[in-house]
Amino acid sequence: MERLSWNQYFLAQSHLLSYRSTCSRLAVGATIVRDKRIIAGGYNGSIAGDEHCIDEGCYVIDGHCVRTIHAEMNAILQCAKFGVATKDAEIYVTHYPCLQCTKAIIQAGIKSVYYARDYRIHPYAAELFKKAGVHVEHVPFQPESLDIHAREKADLIEQLFKVAKEHGAGSDVLEDLLQKAESLFPGAMKKE
C-alpha cells in the first residue's frame, strides 16, 4: 500500500466531512490544519436546531440557499467556539471557496487553501487571496485514498477481465465493463 500524501490525507478528511452535509444542492467539507494536525472540520448545513435542506428543501434567494452555513465558515466558527487559533493555519476544502468564505478565510489568518474541485471561482475571491498573500492550490483529489484496498480491487477486476476475455466475452461487453470499472477506479485500470 502506498502512503498517502499530506494533501490527499487532509482532502480525504474533507470529503468524509462532506458526507455529513445537509445541503441537497452541493455537499462540501472543510478541514483546518495547523502543523500537520487537524484543528477543526466543517460541512455545509443549517444552524443547530434549524430545519435542514434535505428535510425541508433549500431556502433559495438570488440563486443562493440562505439556510446553509458553508463548510469553511462552520470550521472557522468551530475554532472560534472552542478558542482554537486559526492564524497561519491551512484549510483543505472539497470545492473552491465562495467569495464570502474567501473573506472569512483571509480574516481568520489562514495562510493556505487547498481545494479539490473548481466550483464557481469568483474572480474577486481569487484577487483577494492574491492580495492577502494566501497560497491557493488546486489538488485533484484521489477518491481511492478513501479505500485502503482500492489497488487490490482494481487488480482483481483486471484479472477478471483477463478470464472473461479468455472465455470468449465479446469486445463490446468488455468495453462496457471496462468503462464502468474506470468510473469506479479512475486511472487505475490498465487498458490493453
Q: How many residues does the chain have?
A: 192
Closest CA to 5 of 41, 36, 31: 36
Q: How far is CA 153 from CA 29, 107, 157, in A?
A: 27, 44, 6
Sequence-ordered list of residues with C-beta below 8 angstroms from that of 181, at least 6 positions apart, any chain = 154, 157, 161, 189
Query: Which element (helix H / strand E) includes 102?
Result: helix 99-107
Type of residue found at 46:
S
Task: Verify whether residue 72 is a known catalytic residue.
Answer: yes
| Phi, psi angle pair for 94, to nearest 5° | -70, -30
Sequence-ordered list of residues with C-beta below 8 angstroms from that of 45, at least 6 positions apart, any chain = 20, 21, 22, 23, 52, 53, 68, 69, 74
Closest CA to 35 of 77, 73, 72, 88: 88
**Catalytic residue chosen out of the listed positions 72, 166, 182, 192:** 72
Q: In this structure, are residues 147 and 153 in contact, taking their beta carbons and an 8 Å threshold? A: yes
Q: Which residues are catalytic?
A: 72
